[in-house]
């Protein structure tokens, strides 16, 4: 990874030589943790970058496959030194390096995705992906015949656990018999391992495979077995045209446009923002034709309700043991959601 980072730094230097010609435009830099072609996390952010690239008076550039840690600090430092006005860093591990660089360059605006540290010139942002996951859970629950849903998940951290819980709540809202089996791969991106994990879920009877992984490996496994799948990050239909039902997806364009506008007119202020379905930052990919119309209508009605302000995590919610964690009528606070480390009833697996 160090070598890749080095390459990235060299490429950045070369890229900057070209981009410095366009002075006086707002220069926006992006730092990605994986290559943009991954059809996943970084790809989704890069689609957002391409949207702001179209704006007047904005030039953008990006550095991909930057290792978290010292390599990322060097990349961000380079961007700041070259006079970038706004820098987005889109991986959790960029948080501390970005904070360090932000302190050295008070005139540059820094935006960190998925973290929790801020500074006067550094804001943090993330999306309420769990809202879209709830909707995808409804589709999965309605389409399952075995009532067993498989979920290939990366790491047992609150972000992922929250997504699994929302998925399970959505599935059980339309199919109270549904259970969600979880396999942790402990990797964000390893198609071979993810595919194998999906196969292991298929072997125990899962007939819809969902994922919180960045590769389409699980989609391939579902397609080969002839069952259904739910993608993630972006519409993964191309990898499993027969299996793919829908996917909770990122749509960073609107949020990035808004941020760029704020920086341009000077109204930007450091904050911690968490936009969701209502702002269009997360969404549900088009639902496959194999899903019955009434299910699609039901999902769309729920989507409208969430946009109108309905909370996904509203009680009564029980944990795996059946004990009530959230009382009827109470909604979980953002703070509780951000620190979620327990599974809801209907999820089979361990958060350890």
Give the residues lining the site for other proteins (CB under 8 A).
3-4, 7, 34-35, 37-40, 43, 64-65, 150, 156, 181-187, 189-193, 195-197, 199-201, 203-204, 206, 215-217, 220, 224, 238-239, 348-350, 352
CB closer to other proteins out of 46 and 73: 46
**Rounded distance, CA 5 to CA 1, Å?**
6
| Nearest of 133, 129, 112, 147 to residue 29 by alpha carbon | 112
| Choice between 280 and 349, CB closer to other proteins | 349
Residue closer to other proteins by CB (options 34, 259) is: 34
CB of 200: closest distance to other proteins in angstroms? 4
Picking from 228, 136, 202, 210, the residue whose alpha carbon sits closest to that of residue 174 is 136
Question: For 238, what's the count of Cα atoms within 13 Å in the CB-facing half-sphere?
Answer: 5
Smallest separation (angstroms) from other proteins to the CB of 280: 24
Q: In terms of CB distance, is 39 or 135 closer to other proteins?
A: 39
26 versus 66: smaller Cβ distance to other proteins: 66
172: left (phi over 0), alpha (psi -120 to 50) or beta: alpha
Cα separations in angstroms, 287 against 126, 131, 136, 300: 24, 16, 9, 10
What is the closest distance, in whole angstroms, from the C-beta atom of residue 3 to other proteins in the complex?
A: 4
Q: Which residues does 181 contact at the CB level (< 8 Å), separation at least 6?
A: 148, 149, 150, 151, 201, 204, 206, 347, 348, 349
**158-174 vs 129-143: helix crossing angle, rounded to 10:** 40
- Are the C-beta atoms of 89 and 61 separated by less than 8 Å? no
Task: CB nearer to other proteins: give 26 or 206.
Answer: 206
Q: CA torsion, points 224, 40, 57, 55, in degrees to nearest 10?
A: 40
Closest approach of other proteins to the CB of residue 277, in Å: 25
**In the bound complex, what is the minimum distance in angstroms from residue 173's beta carbon to other proteins?**
22
Q: How many CB atoms lie within 10 A of CB 232?
A: 30
Shortest separation between residue 64's beta carbon and other proteins, angstroms: 7
Pick between residue 115 and residue 217 the one whose CB is nearest to other proteins.
Answer: 217
Burial of 28 (0-12, 13-18, 19+ CB in 10 A): buried
Instruction: Tell the smallest beta-carbon distance from residue 195 to other proteins (Å).
Output: 5
């Amino acid at each position: 990874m160090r070598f890749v980072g080095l390459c990235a730094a060299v490429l950045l230097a070369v890229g900057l030589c070209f981009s410095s010609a366009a002075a006086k435009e707002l220069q926006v830099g992006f730092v990605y943790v994986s290559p943009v072609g991954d059809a996943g996390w970084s790809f989704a952010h890069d689609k957002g970058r391409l949207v702001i690239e179209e704006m007047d008076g904005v030039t953008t550039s990006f550095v991909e496959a930057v290792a978290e840690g010292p390599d990322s600090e060097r990349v961000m430092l380079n961007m700041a030194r070259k006079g970038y006005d706004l820098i987005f860093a889109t991986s959790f591990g960029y948080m501390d390096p970005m904070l360090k660089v932000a302190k050295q360059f008070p005139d540059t605006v820094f935006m960190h995705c998925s973290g929790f540290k801020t500074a006067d010139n550094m804001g943090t942002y993330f999306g309420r992906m769990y809202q879209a996951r709830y909707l995808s859970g409804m589709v999965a629950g309605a389409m399952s015949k075995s009532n067993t849903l498989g979920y290939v998940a990366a790491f047992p951290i609150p972000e992922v656990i929250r997504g699994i819980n929302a998925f399970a709540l959505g599935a059980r809202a339309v199919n109270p018999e549904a259970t969600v089996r979880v396999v942790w791969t402990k990797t964000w991106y390893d198609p071979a391992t993810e595919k194998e994990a999906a196969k292991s879920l298929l072997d125990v009877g899962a007939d819809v495979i969902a994922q919180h992984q960045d590769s389409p490996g699980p989609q391939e496994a579902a397609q080969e077995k002839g069952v259904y799948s739910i993608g993630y990050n972006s519409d993964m239909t191309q990898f499993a045209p027969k299996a793919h039902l829908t996917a909770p997806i990122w749509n960073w364009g609107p949020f990035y446009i808004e941020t760029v506008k704020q920086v341009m007119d000077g109204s930007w202020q450091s904050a911690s923002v968490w936009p969701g379905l209502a702002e269009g930052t997360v969404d549900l990919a088009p639902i496959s034709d194999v899903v019955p119309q009434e299910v699609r209508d039901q999902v769309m009605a729920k989507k409208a309700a969430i946009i109108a302000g309905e909370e996904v995590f509203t009680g009564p919610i029980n944990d795996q043991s059946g004990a009530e964690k959230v009382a009827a009528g109470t909604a979980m606070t953002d703070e509780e959601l951000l620190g979620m480390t327990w599974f809801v009833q209907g999820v089979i697996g361990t958060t350890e």
